[in-house]
Structure 1
């Protein structure tokens, strides 16, 4: 389950309630993403709170953009999060879709590439391994609880990106707009082949999609409303055109069928993305996913 970080008017109480509800439920992971030029909570600061608010569930960034951060400082921050959470952190990384996020922090938009991301990930992995990456007296710490650092997932839907990430990633944190499992399985096949060619174990395969539970019209309108707000860089008429087929809206019974389809193609996790900050959505999904736990 993903935190409602892209919803408006969030406060600490809402975020804490969501985190504890997810932790108490049958969910395997609690996820959250990163934007800069938006009004969502800052991702690293939220990690610290989530590490304290939860005890069981795995914490997964879906995704962070290393190019928006100094890689040594980001490695230190994430290692601290791994320490505080008792070794429950998984780090999903991507190049990010918004140039304005790069510009907001003074990052070079020319680094918005797989190479730019891979270079920063390499620095982070060296820090986590305890190597001295600066002229400091001692290496940058703390050491993450997970040996070698948190599991790394690459956030992408592109075959070329997946192939290049096989050298350093442990799996995929993908996304699907239309929930087409045939297309999703083609992406998985690329990952499986790339990881095998790199001589690595089978990749962890995750995908995500926006969701709304409720009767058809109201749930679809909820998704539409969310897309209008979140996709504010796209002309409204384009968002309106894609909204009827983007994400998923329906009842609990229908969600069971959707999750089974993804299970059948070998999905290890589905990261559900809420389109409302109403915690009742989480509680309703918890009843559905209990059979998958």
Structure 2
């Protein structure tokens, strides 16, 4: 099983130096991928712009969007931006797509919340694939470029936690970029089984099975408080008392040995990759997790 690291893009007071430091450390290894998510009505960096920076700042690590919401973008421009990121990174891009969970993000860009469906997402992805294939989708002299380095475009993952969504994504996705709130490994494996069956029924190779969870490394009380503080900020569309109620059992907190034990549990059920999500910009925690991952892999 491989282990990726998510950029701390949902943390406050970010600057270019912090982002570049994280990208550089992750690229040094032993992480398999460098991930980041998308929100609009929030103060995180814009995802496609950040893709260009991360592609330039790194040389080795796989770049994974977890996730981009196609309905918030013009599909042709999104395809062009992602192909550009694939070009700059030398073909290291994997794209996670999802429908998103916040109407305010749709409203912020003038997108119709009624398009927050798997069907609408699949339609936009089909347009992107046509662009990456070099088709002229309008009466233009040349097709929209640049062509991606990876033939046919980047590998595509579906960001979801629901079996119905997983089944519908088998038609276009190469795997999952899921998430687990409570680290229930058995429940996660049930979703993996849905994917395994759906991909087999579609006559496709076995899906890439990835999941993610928030983490905080350190003494028990302080680490759990770090997770709670992050959730309070990130889940700002949920009443604070609800977030506080779920915070004790959401994400993971603990020491290095406990993190390694959790990773072994996910590996045991056939997880291909875990994407860790930081709840702090603390570089020391990043380096300590890197040591755990080095020993684990």
5+ residue gaps, structure 1: none
For residues 77-226 of structure 1, what are the structure 2 equivalents within 5 Å? 77-226=81-230
**In the alignment, which of 51, 54, 62 is matched to residue 47 of structure 1?**
51
Residue by residue over 1:157-211, the C-alpha shift from the partner in whole angstroms, topping out at 9 and shown as x without a partner, is 1111000000100000000000000000000000000000000000000000000
Residue by residue over 1:114-136, the C-alpha shift from the partner in whole angstroms, topping out at 9 and shown as x without a partner, is 00100000000110011111111
Give the Cα–Cα distance (whole angstroms) in 1 for the partners of residues 65 and 252 of structure 2: 22
TM-score normalised per structure 2: 0.98
5+ residue gaps, structure 2: none
Alignment root-mean-square deviation, CA: 0.5
**In the alignment, which of 2, 15, 38 is matched to residue 6 of structure 2?**
2
For residues 53-68 of structure 1, what are the structure 2 equivalents within 5 Å? 53-68=57-72
Partner of 1:266: 270
Partner of 1:228: 232
Instruction: Give structure 1 regions of 4+ aligned residues with deviation exceeding 3 angstroms.
Output: none
Aligned length in residues: 293
Q: Check if 1:284 corresponds to 2:288.
A: yes
Give the Cα–Cα distance (whole angstroms) in 1 for the partners of residues 286 and 138 of structure 2: 44
CA deviation after TM superposition for structure 1 residue 223, in Å: 0.1
CA deviation after TM superposition for structure 1 residue 280, in Å: 1.2
TM-score normalised per structure 1: 0.99
Give the Cα–Cα distance (whole angstroms) in 2 for the partners of residues 99 and 277 of structure 1: 28
CA deviation after TM superposition for structure 1 residue 291, in Å: 2.8
Give the Cα–Cα distance (whole angstroms) in 2 for the partners of residues 227 and 70 of structure 1: 30
